[in-house]
Amino acid sequence: MTNIVLFGKPGAGKGTQAEFLKTRYNLTHISTGDVFRYNLKNETALGKEAKEYMDRGDLVPDELTIKMLQDEVEKHPDTNGFLFDGFPRTIAQAEALDRFLESKGWKVNATIALEADDEVLVQRLLERGKTSGRKDDQDENLIRNRYVEYNEKTAPLMDYYQNQYKFYAVNGIGSIAEITERLSLVIDKIN
């Protein structure tokens, strides 16, 4: 069982890299952003609750997010491990994840950050917004608000995982294949 948290700011390439890594390491990819968007599109109760936060580029409250993540994990009892993408994003989420995995005899094995400069990422997201249809990628104010949320609530997780000796960082600038190799070097080391 190998559980990896892919960490990084919006636009850092977590989702893109997860697509390659999940095949290479036979892991279950859970993107909380994707699950929220699916619920929004299908107008589920969860989607309706999450909508106002997502529309503003704010984080969805912890209680809702943690419950949703746990439900997703429970759907894959026989997995080799998870690739968490976009979760945890607050200390409360990280603590809940540790407790939840521990209750199953599992743990977070590594947190790997994809590092890139804010201005590069803002441009990347605006580009992505032209084709993704994502409203939160089309409005620069919403994008910048997501960075404010990141700096306030998510950045402290670096210390949280560093204190557990589980934090790794790779350069998130380069070709997709180069970055996959950088991430794989870390995963091969911890395995």
* Total residue length of the chain: 191
Query: Does 13 sit near ligand AMP (CB under 6 A)?
Result: no
Binding ligand AMP by CB under 6 A: which of 3, 6, 10, 172? 10
Span of 18-26, 28-36, 155-163, 165-173 interacting with ligand AMP by CB under 6 A: 28-36
Least distance between ligand AMP and beta carbon 88 (Å): 6
Pairing type for strands 167-171 and 28-31 reads: unpaired
The smaller minimum CB distance to ligand AMP, of residues 2 and 9, is found at 9
Q: Are 97 and 62 in contact (CB under 8 A)?
A: no
Binding ligand AMP by CB under 6 A: which of 82, 87, 147, 150? 87
**Of 149, 153, 152, 127, residue with least CA distance to 138:** 127
Q: Annotate each residue in 36-65 with x if it binds ligand AMP (CB under 6 A) or - if it does not, as one string.
A: x----------------xx--xxxx----x
Q: Please report, for residues 3, 54, 63, 86, 101, the alpha-carbon distance to residue 112 in angstroms, rounded to integers and kept in the order given.
A: 11, 25, 24, 12, 18
The rounded Cα 57 to chain-centroid distance in angstroms is 15
Binding ligand AMP by CB under 6 A: which of 8, 33, 81, 172? 33
The smaller minimum CB distance to ligand AMP, of residues 13 and 33, is found at 33
13 secondary structure, DSSP code: S
Active site residues: 14, 89, 128, 134, 146
CA angle, residues 17, 21, 27, in degrees to nearest 5: 130
Q: Which residues bind ligand AMP (CB under 6 A)?
A: 10, 32-33, 36, 53-54, 57-60, 65, 86-87, 89, 93, 136, 146
